[in-house]
Amino acid sequence: MKNIISILALLFLISCGKTREDSKVNFPKIQEMAENIPNKENVWVFIMAGQSNMAGRGIVAPQDTLPNPRIFSINSKDELILAKEPLHFYESNLIGLDCGYSFGKTLLEHVPDSVSLMLLPTAIGGSSVSQWANDSIYRNVQLLSNFKKKVAIGKKHGTIKAILWHQGESDANSHDIPLYKDKLSALFNTFRTTIGNDSLPIILGELGAYSKNPEEWGAITKIINEFPSFDANTSVIKLSDLKDKGDKIHFNTEGFRIMGKRYAEAYFATKE
């Protein structure tokens, strides 16, 4: 009996390892360095911030790694590259498809041909608002300092147009929910001060509606949806209709693509 259990355990571990390997089968094999960077006035910069549902946990498909010469990002050395999924690189064993490239491709359908985009990843899975505000080191990343470093890169090469923010799962508990509005407001003020634009648009996404703790997640989503009433330079995208990947925490692959499109639509709505 013990031998059977041991064999089954081994098969399970092999299966788990294979699943993780298969999830990365379409990750790009090479990085393409960005050349012929446009003048600063023609580069629109967007910063992706928050926790894992912004960092990305979807399955990358070949279509997500076909570079567009007008969409740039950075690698782990802060070098400019042509954007390919996954855009985030901080959590090497967890990263996957995020909403960034979908956002960029949707945006290009509406901007002048002279405009290029730069997507700067700063999201770290599991990070709370307090950890961002306190510049904590979490999963080997000093959150706010890293954000500021990416802001400097963005301002060097273009104009920062907006922040795409998705976060709240880590704050969905009885202690942090009552503090969430004020803490997030203070953090957004810090973001805007760092960038030097008090009216910078920040687009927030709802949490999923599939949680094992629906009341707590719902309370955070309620605060998120109320945010534009006291911060006129924020807007919110609906995500509560999206499905999870089976873990009751992260959106599924299609959800991340829809998420990117909705962030792009929300950004253009701020320009109307």
CA separation for the pair 101, 94 (Å, rounded) = 18
Residue 22 lies in a domain: no
Q: Is residue 107 part of a domain?
A: yes
Residue 82 lies in domain: 40-269
Tokens of 14: 């092999």
- What average pLDDT does the chain have? 92
What average pLDDT does range 161-188 have in this prediction? 98
Residue 272 has a pLDDT of: 59
Stretch 154-172: mean pLDDT: 98
Tally of domains within the chain: 1
Query: Residues 41-86: pLDDT tens digits?
Result: 999 999 999 999 999 999 999 999 999 999 999 999 999 999 999 9
Average pLDDT over residues 146-171: 98
Asked if residue 7 belongs to a domain, the reply is: no
Asked if residue 73 is part of any domain, the answer here is yes
Q: What is the pLDDT of residues 248-257, one digit of tens each?
A: 999 999 999 9
Q: Is residue 115 part of a domain?
A: yes
CATH assignment of the domain containing 198 = 3.40.50.1110
Condensed to tens digits (0 to 9), the pLDDT of residues 185-242 reads: 999 999 999 999 999 999 999 999 999 999 999 999 999 999 999 999 999 999 999 9
Q: pTM score, two decimals?
A: 0.91
With contact defined as beta carbons under 8 Å apart, do 13 and 21 qualify? no
How many other C-beta atoms are found inside a 10 Å radius of the C-beta of residue 11? 10
- What is the pLDDT confidence band of residue 3, given thresholds at 50, 70 and 90? low
In a domain, 47, yes or no: yes
Q: Three-class SS string for the chain?
A: CHHHHHHHHHHHHHHHHHHHHHCCCCCCCCCCECCCCCCHHHEEEEEEEECHHHHCCECCCHHHHCCCCCEEEECCCCCEEECCCCCCCCCCCCCCECCHHHHHHHHHCCCCCCCEEEEEECCCCCCCHHHHHCCCEECCEEHHHHHHHHHHHHHHHCEEEEEEEECCHHHCCCCCHHHHHHHHHHHHHHHHHHHCCCCCCEEEECCCCCCCCHHHHHHHHHHHHHHHHCCCCEEEECCCCCCECCCCCCECHHHHHHHHHHHHHHHHHCCC
Give the phi and the psi of residue 139 in degrees, each rounded to 5. Answer: 50, 45
Q: Is residue 16 part of a domain?
A: no
Give tens-digit pLDDT for 137-155. Answer: 999 999 999 999 999 999 9
What letter represents residue 37's amino acid? Answer: I
Is residue 15 situated within a structural domain?
no
Instruction: Give the tens place of pLDDT for each residue, 6-36.
Output: 444 444 444 444 444 567 899 998 999 998 8
- Percent of the chain whose pLDDT exceeds 70: 91
Q: What was the pLDDT predicted at 9?
A: 44
What tens digit of pLDDT does each residue of 183-192 get?
999 999 999 9
Mean pLDDT over 147-168 rounds to 98
Of 82, 84, 85, 83, nearest to 95 by C-alpha is: 85
